[in-house]
A = this chain, B = another copy of it.
Amino acid sequence: MAIYFEEAKSVEAVNARLACSDPRFQQLMEALVRHLHAFVKETEPTMDEWFDAIQFLTWAGQICDEKRQEWILLSDVLGVSMLVDAINNRRPGRATENTVLGPFHVSNAPRRSMGDNICLDGKGEPCFVSGRVTDESGQPLAGVTLDVWQTNGDGFYDVQQPDAQPQFNMRGLFETGADGAYSFWTTLPLPYSIPDDGPVGLLLRKSGRHPMRPAHIHFIAEKAGYERLVTHIFVRGGAYLESDAVFGVKEELIGDFVREGESWRCHFDLCLKPKHG
């Protein structure tokens, strides 16, 4: 090949330089350069469009801090987070499907007892959520850690409102007993907007898309020997189910939330897949 860069051989010019000691990194870089150059060759961006992209990408990093992760949001709204999640969690059997983790999980939520209320600010409509965690044969699973979180009655996670919400509001860790059952009080989840005052919001507006997510409760279910389940329960009949800004909805993750007097009830079973099973 030619010694120097040529438009027609741009991929070869770059990839001929790669000498990664890690063969997986070499594979990722070769594919990145190939797909990136294919995108540029197809779209033929002007110099101004290229510089707009540089500024957009720079902004996406600069708006990040301990509480804000714009790059996860960008991955989410482009469907990349759901795609990577799908690739890593193919569950053709009975096991509950994964969906996106999202940027608002915290790893140190307090341990709670079954039946506890995770709502610490008294906002929203009370809702009792219960179900059973089983394996694919329907046997109850004991010792499953359930990590639960959601927005409060105003539609924000505690970490988005550190001054207005009690710490760990709407969060809790539960552990199943021999019956595999779980239950807790929370509030009826509401649709909310992902942060849209940054580059992701600009991209959504320019794309004619809204920033809303349908109402949901986040779950992580973990037990040694089983695949980690990262999922949501969505509210059947709620707004935005078919246009979730981050593409997180799956049919089987939609639960029935039923009004009973002053409160709501949702029963939703979770099913874990054995590792390498």
Contacts and interface: CB of A to CB of B under 8 A. Distances in A.
A215 to B, nearest CB: 16
| Copies held by the complex | 2
Interface stretch (A6-14, A130-138, A139-147, A175-183): A6-14
Interface string A1-23: 00111110011011001111110
Interface string A52-68: 00100111111010000
A36 B80 contact: yes
Given A7-B86, A247-B5, A13 B79 contact: yes
Interface residues of A, number: 74
Interface string A80-98: 1111111110100000000
| Interface-centre pick from A43, A59, A82 (highest chain B CB count, 10 A) | A43
A27 interface: yes
Interface of A: 3-7, 10-11, 13-14, 17-22, 25-29, 31-33, 35-47, 49-50, 54, 57-62, 64, 69-72, 75, 78-88, 90, 206-209, 242-243, 247-251
User: 10 closest A-B pairs (Cβ-Cβ)?
Assistant: A61-B61, A19-B208, A14-B79, A7-B86, A35-B39, A5-B247, A50-B84, A54-B71, A10-B83, A61-B62
Given A45-B87, A58-B60, 20 more contacts: A4-B249, A5-B79, A14-B79, A17-B207, A17-B243, A18-B208, A18-B209, A20-B206, A21-B208, A22-B206, A25-B207, A27-B43, A28-B43, A31-B39, A35-B39, A37-B83, A44-B88, A45-B84, A50-B80, A58-B61
